[in-house]
Structure 1
Amino acid sequence: MRSDNVTKGSERAPNRSLFYALGYTPEELERPLIGVVSAYSEIVPGHMNLDKIADAVKAGVEMAGGTPILIPAIGVCDGIAMGHVGMKYSLASRELICDSVETMLMAHQLDGLVLVPNCDKIVPGMVMAAVRMDVPAVVCSGGPMLAGSYGGEEVSLSKMFEAVGAYKAGMITDEQLEDCTCNCCPSCGSCSGMYTANSMNCLCEAIGIALPGNGTIPAVYSKRLQLAKHAGMAIMDMVNKGITARQIINERSIRNALTCDMALGCSTNTVLHLLAIAYEAGVPIDLKLFNEISARTPNLCHLAPAGPTHMPDLYAAGGIPAVQAELAKKGLLDLDVPTVTGKTLGENIKGAHILNEKAIRPIENPYSQTGGLQILWGNIAPDGCVVKRSAVAPEMQQHSGPARVFNSEETAIAAIYAGQIVPGDVVVIRYEGPKGGPGMREMLNPTSALAGMKLDKTVALITDGRFSGASRGAAIGHVSPEAASGGPIGLIEEGDTISIDIPNAKITLEVSDEVLAERKAKYVAPEPNIKTGWLSRYARMVTSANLGAVLK
C-alpha cells in the first residue's frame, strides 16, 4: 500500500507520531488510508451540504474496512462570480484544484480518494488529479438543487438571469423581479438545469468514475446520503482489487461520456473539461471527435435552459441509466467498459428504462437525430468553436448579420441593456479567452439579457470566452485561436457580415483573405489586463480552448 510509506517501520515512527497526534489509533493505521476530498464551504449553494455527504462517505469507508481522512478543496460559485472580475478565477481554479488534490495525495501517501465536489470546475479539477496520478478514485457529488417556482412555472437559475434582461427592457416589474429572486433557487445543490455542474456530474456517471445516481439524485434526498455511503464502500473495493482511475477513464469510456453528453444536451463547458480530463489521462482526443459522435447520437433530453424540465425530472424519469439504455438500443455505447461499481456498464444499466417521456425521449422519437453540441469551423475560428445547438431556436440554426464588436463583456452588456442591439445583429465579444481574459469568463449575463429581451431568436453572440450551461440561443463560444493570441476574431470590424451555419458546422466572416491580411499586418495585441497575482502566471501558461485550456 502507498500509505506504508508514512505508517510502517521504525523509520516512519516520527510520521506515525503525527497521526497519533491527530487521534488515529494503531488499528486505523493498519487499514488503507482514504482521502475524502470535500469542497464543503458556506459560499456555494451546491456545496453547503457536502459536510453531510463527506460524513456519509467516511461511514461507508469505515464499514468497508478503511480509514477515511477528510481533506478540504476550494470551489468557486459561478453564479456569484458572474458578471464581474471574479469570473476570471472560475475556470482557472480548475487547475488549482487539480494541483492541490495531487499535492495532498502525494504528500500524505493516501491509498485512494473519494472526491466530493458538486459545482462547475470542481468536478473536472478533482477528476483530472485522479487520472493524472492514476489512483483508485470514486466521485460522489452533492446532487442537484430542486427546481424553483416563478409565475406558476418550474424555474431555475437561468430564468433568474433572463429576468434581469426582461426587467431592463421594462417587461417585468420590481415585484416580479424580486419574486423570481426569492424563489428560483429553493434548496441546496447544484442549480437545477443542465448547466455545467450537473452536466459534469452526469458525465462522471457516464464515464464510469461515479456510481449510478451521482448526476441526478436531488441534493435534499436521503438517497444521496445512501449513495455517499456506497461510494465509500466502492473505493475500498477498488483499493483492494488495485483498480485505478485510468482503468476506468480511457478512450472507450470517454467516447461513452461524449455520447451521453450529446444525448443529454450538456453544457458547452463539457468540451473544455472532457478535453482536459482526456489530456491528463493520456488519451488523445480532439474537437473532430465531438462532431463525429454528435453526428450519430440523437438528442433525447431538453432540460433547462433548452426546455422546461429540470434535474429532479430527469432523476424521476430513470436518470442516466435510462438514457444509457436508450442509447444502447442502437449500439451507441461500449457496454463492456468497467465502472466503479465493480460491474460493467452493461451490467449497471440492465433493466433500466424510461419512466417519463417528457424528460427523456425514446431513441425512436428524439428531439433531433444529432447531438446537443456542435463544433463549428471557419475563418473566424480556424481551430474551432462550440455551440449548444439543442438550445438554439430552429430559425437561428442558420443566420447572417452585421457584427457588433466589443472588446470586453462589460461593454457588450452595457450596449445590450441600453437597447443598442437589434434583431439580426451578431454580437462579438473578444479578449475574453483563456489568455486574454484571462480566465475565459462565462458570458451568461449577455446571453441571458438577450433571452430576457426576447432577442435570443434573432441575435447571435460569438466570443473567445465561454458560456454557462444556463445560456441559450445562438451562443457560440471557445473561438480558437483567441484574439489575445492573434486569432482572426481580433480582426473583425464593426458592421462586417458574419454567417453562421450550425447544421453544416461553419462560421464565416464575409471578408476577403486579402482584407484580413491587411488588417492582420496592422494588428497590435493589447496589453494584458491583469499583470499581478496568479492569474498573470495562468495567462502565460494556459493553452487554447480547443486543447481544453490546460496548463503547459
Structure 2
Amino acid sequence: MESYWNGAEAAHRRVMMKAAGYSDSDIRKKPHIGVPNSYMEGSPGSAHLRQIAEAVKQGIWAAGGVPVEFGIPATCGNIANGAEELKYEQVGRDIVAMSVEFVSRVHNFDGLVMVASCDNIIAGCYLAAARVNIPSMVVTGGSMQPGHHCGKTVVEADLDVARFSGSAEEDLMELEEAVCPSFGACPSMGTANTMQMLGEVMNLVMPGTATIPASDNRKLRQAREAGKFAVKLVKSGLKPSDLITKEILLNSIMFDMAVAGSTNAVLHILTMAYELGIDITLEDFETYAKEIPCINAVIPSGPYTVVDFHYAGGVPNVMKMLESRLFTDAPMMNGRTWGEYLSGVKAQPNEVIHTLEKPLFHEPGLKILRGNLSPNGAIVRPTAVPDSVKYMKGKAKVFDGDRSAFEAIEAGEIVPGDIIVIRYEGCKGAPGMKELMLSIDALIGRGLHTSVGLVSDARFSGFNFGAIIGHVSPEAYDGGTIALVENGDEIIIDIPNGQVSLEVTEEELEKRKADWVCPPLKEEKGCLNLFARNCRPAEQGGAMQPW
C-alpha cells in the first residue's frame, strides 16, 4: 500500500487525492478503504444508505483508515414488477460486481466495505468481494418494519395479492399507505433478506448484524463498528478467498435450507463458488435437502416477519440450531472458528426459529427437482407449496412469456388441474432470467395456487408461493425439453419425490427437436445482449462468467 502512494512515481496519484481533500499523511500512511454505496432515492431498501455509509466512514477514520466512498448501481425490483424490464434485475448483479471491480482496481484500494440491502444488489456486492479478492465486508441496510392494516400485519406482497384478487382501487390505496412503513428491505424471506442473512454465514457481514431493522438505531452503531473492524481486517490481510471456503458455502446451503430462503440464493451461492474456484453444484443442495428441514416461520413459510426473526435470535440462533450439522472448524472473519463462536451463543428455540428436532416442517426450505423436463435440475420451495399441489398430473398450457400466461389467467382460460408452462424467460431467453411476478401473483390473487401448477425456465420472487417450479434447465433457448412441450401434453409434478416430468415418449421428443428452430435473441444490443452471450446456465449460477 505505502509503496503505491509514496515516492516520486506516485506524485500524480497523491495530487489527485489531495485535490479531493485528503491530507498527505493520510494518503501516504493509512490503508485506503473503498466504500461502495448503493444509495438510491427511489427505493426504501436503499434511500437510507447515505446515513449508514457515513457511519461506516466514521468508523474507518476512527480506526486509522482512509475511506473513499463511491456510488454503485441500485434498483428496486418492485418498481419493475410485472413489466418487461424486470429481466434486468438478474443482470444487475453482474453490473454491480463489475462496477465495484472497476473502481476498486483503478483506485487500488486495500479493502472494501460495501453498503447494500436489496436482492441482486447485495448479491452483486458479494460477487465483487470474491472477484476483487481484497479484505472485504458488507454492511446491510436491514429489514423494513411490517405494516398494519385493519388490525393485521401486512407486507408488500399482500398488496400484490390484493391487486389481482379484485380489490377496489380505494382499498388498494389504503393498503399502499400501510404495507411499507419504513426504510429497509421488504420483511419477508425474499431475496434481499435471504442474501443479507447469508452474508453472515459467508463471512462478509459481521455476526449478528445482518437483520438489524433499518429503523433500529443499533444499525448505525454497528455500521460504525464495521468501519472500525474493516481496518483491522485489512491489516490482518484476510481475503474472501481465505474466508469463503467450500465448508463455508456448504454451511450456507444448510442455512438456506433451514430458513427456506429465496430460491434465488441458489443462483448466488453457485456463482460465488464458481468465482472462487470451489466445486459446489446442485447435487450439494440435493444432499442437504434430505438432511435439513425448515425451522424458520418467516413469510411465506410462516406468519412472522424478518423483524420478528431478528429479535428471535437472528442468524446466530439459526446457526446454533444447526451446530451439529455445520462445519464448525470453518473460519470466521473475526479470527475464530464457527465452533468457537457458537460455543458462546445460547440456543433460543421459539415460535419463529425452531429446533432441528422439532422443525416447522419435516421437509427442506428448498428442493431440487429432476426429470426429462429438467434433466439439469429445477428449483422449488416446498414449504410454500400447498399440500393439494405437491403432487400433480395435469395438462400443459404453454406460453412463450410471462405476460401471455398472465393474460390467459385473467381471461379465465386457466382452470384447476392445469399446469402452466412459461418458457423463453431463462438466462438467454428473456434474456436475464426474468422473475415471473405477473402470472404467479395472478394465480395467487385468484386462489388458483392451490390447484394449478407452473413450470418455467425463469425464476421467481422470494415472496411467491404455490406449486412453482423454476430454473428449468436446459432452458428453452438452448433447446431444452421445455421448448418442445405442446398444449395438452401431460406433466407430472412430484415434489415429495423430487421429480418434474413430461409424459411424452423419447421418439416423439426427438421428432419435435428436429423441427425446433432457435429463436433470435430478443435483445440485439446493450447489457441484456451481453448477458445472453456470456452467461452460464442456471444450474451454474447464471452469471456472466464465460471464463
**TM-score between the two structures when normalised by the length of structure 2:** 0.97
The 5-angstrom pairing of residues 224-263 of structure 1 reads: 224-263=219-258
Distance in 2 (CA, whole Å) between partners of 1:523 and 1:296 is 40
Any idea what SS the aligned residue of 2:358 has? coil
Distance in 2 (CA, whole Å) between partners of 1:93 and 1:266 is 20
2:362 to 366, 369, 373: 369
Is the aligned partner of 1:13 residue 2:11? yes
Structure 1 stretches of 5 or more lacking a match? Answer: none
Partner of residue 47, structure 1:
46
Is the aligned partner of 1:461 residue 2:454? yes
Deviation at 1:354, TM superposition (A): 5.2
Q: Which moved more, 1:296-305 or 1:432-441?
A: 296-305
Over 3 Å counting, the alpha-carbon distance change for 1:77 and 1:114 in structure 2 is: same
Deviation at 1:336, TM superposition (A): 2.3
Deviation at 1:273, TM superposition (A): 0.6
1:391 to 378, 384, 388: 384
The 5-angstrom pairing of residues 497-516 of structure 1 reads: 497-516=490-509
2:23 to 25, 45, 49: 25
Any idea what SS the aligned residue of 2:114 has? strand
2:517 to 520, 524, 543: 524
Post-superposition CA distance 1:244-292 (Å, at most 9, x none): 1111111010011111100000000001111011111111111111010
Deviation at 1:362, TM superposition (A): 2.1
Distance in 2 (CA, whole Å) between partners of 1:373 and 1:430 is 22
Deviation at 1:133, TM superposition (A): 2.3
* 8 Å CA contact 2:419, 2:453 repeated in 1: yes
Partner of residue 199, structure 2:
204
1:318 counterpart letter in structure 2: G
The 5-angstrom pairing of residues 267-346 of structure 1 reads: 267-328=262-323, 331-346=324-339
Distance in 2 (CA, whole Å) between partners of 1:346 and 1:155 is 38
Q: Which moved more, 1:152-161 or 1:188-197?
A: 152-161
* 8 Å CA contact 1:380, 1:508 repeated in 2: yes
Deviation at 1:534, TM superposition (A): 2.3
* 8 Å CA contact 1:380, 1:489 repeated in 2: yes
Distance in 2 (CA, whole Å) between partners of 1:4 and 1:80 is 46
Post-superposition CA distance 1:302-344 (Å, at most 9, x none): 311222110110011010111111111xx11122222223332
Is the aligned partner of 1:404 residue 2:403? no
Q: Which moved more, 1:352-361 or 1:283-292?
A: 352-361
2:423 counterpart letter in structure 1: R
2:122 counterpart letter in structure 1: V
Partner of residue 176, structure 2:
181
State the number of aligned residues.
544
Is the aligned partner of 1:548 residue 2:541? yes
Distance in 2 (CA, whole Å) between partners of 1:446 and 1:90 is 18
Over 3 Å counting, the alpha-carbon distance change for 1:495 and 1:410 in structure 2 is: same
Partner of residue 127, structure 1:
126
Over 3 Å counting, the alpha-carbon distance change for 1:346 and 1:229 in structure 2 is: farther
Deviation at 1:527, TM superposition (A): 2.1
2:34 counterpart letter in structure 1: G
Any idea what SS the aligned residue of 1:140 has? strand
Give % identity: 39
1:26 counterpart letter in structure 2: D
Deviation at 1:124, TM superposition (A): 1.6
1:413 counterpart letter in structure 2: F
* 8 Å CA contact 1:158, 1:305 repeated in 2: no
Deviation at 1:445, TM superposition (A): 2.3
Distance in 1 (CA, whole Å) between partners of 2:466 and 2:297 is 13
* 8 Å CA contact 2:374, 2:473 repeated in 1: yes
Distance in 2 (CA, whole Å) between partners of 1:179 and 1:403 is 38
* 8 Å CA contact 1:161, 1:444 repeated in 2: no
* 8 Å CA contact 1:379, 1:507 repeated in 2: yes
Any idea what SS the aligned residue of 2:329 has? coil
Over 3 Å counting, the alpha-carbon distance change for 1:21 and 1:276 in structure 2 is: same
Deviation at 1:355, TM superposition (A): 4.7
2:243 counterpart letter in structure 1: I
2:51 counterpart letter in structure 1: K
Deviation at 1:351, TM superposition (A): 4.1
Post-superposition CA distance 1:386-436 (Å, at most 9, x none): 011111112221111111111011101111122221111111110000101
RMSD: 1.3
Partner of residue 414, structure 1:
407
Distance in 2 (CA, whole Å) between partners of 1:394 and 1:97 is 39
Post-superposition CA distance 1:27-81 (Å, at most 9, x none): 2111000001110011221001111110111111111111111011101211111
Distance in 2 (CA, whole Å) between partners of 1:367 and 1:392 is 14
2:493 counterpart letter in structure 1: I
* 8 Å CA contact 2:349, 2:355 repeated in 1: no
1:350 to 340, 343, 354: 343
Q: Which moved more, 1:336-345 or 1:454-463?
A: 336-345
Distance in 1 (CA, whole Å) between partners of 2:431 and 2:211 is 33
Post-superposition CA distance 1:101-132 (Å, at most 9, x none): 11111101100000111101111211112112
Is the aligned partner of 1:71 residue 2:66? no
Distance in 1 (CA, whole Å) between partners of 2:360 and 2:381 is 14
1:27 counterpart letter in structure 2: S
Post-superposition CA distance 1:177-232 (Å, at most 9, x none): 22222211111101110000000010111122211233311011111111111211
Distance in 2 (CA, whole Å) between partners of 1:388 and 1:182 is 30
1:10 counterpart letter in structure 2: A
Partner of residue 107, structure 1:
106
Distance in 1 (CA, whole Å) between partners of 2:377 and 2:46 is 34
* 8 Å CA contact 2:35, 2:114 repeated in 1: yes
* 8 Å CA contact 2:363, 2:382 repeated in 1: no
Distance in 2 (CA, whole Å) between partners of 1:41 and 1:509 is 45
* 8 Å CA contact 1:465, 1:478 repeated in 2: yes
2:124 counterpart letter in structure 1: G
Distance in 2 (CA, whole Å) between partners of 1:116 and 1:297 is 31
Distance in 2 (CA, whole Å) between partners of 1:231 and 1:247 is 19
* 8 Å CA contact 1:444, 1:470 repeated in 2: no
Distance in 2 (CA, whole Å) between partners of 1:528 and 1:14 is 45
* 8 Å CA contact 2:37, 2:116 repeated in 1: yes
1:300 counterpart letter in structure 2: I
Distance in 2 (CA, whole Å) between partners of 1:134 and 1:157 is 36
2:430 to 429, 437, 454: 437
Is the aligned partner of 1:490 residue 2:489? no
Q: Which moved more, 1:366-375 or 1:347-356?
A: 347-356
Post-superposition CA distance 1:496-546 (Å, at most 9, x none): 111011121111001111111111111112222221222112211112111
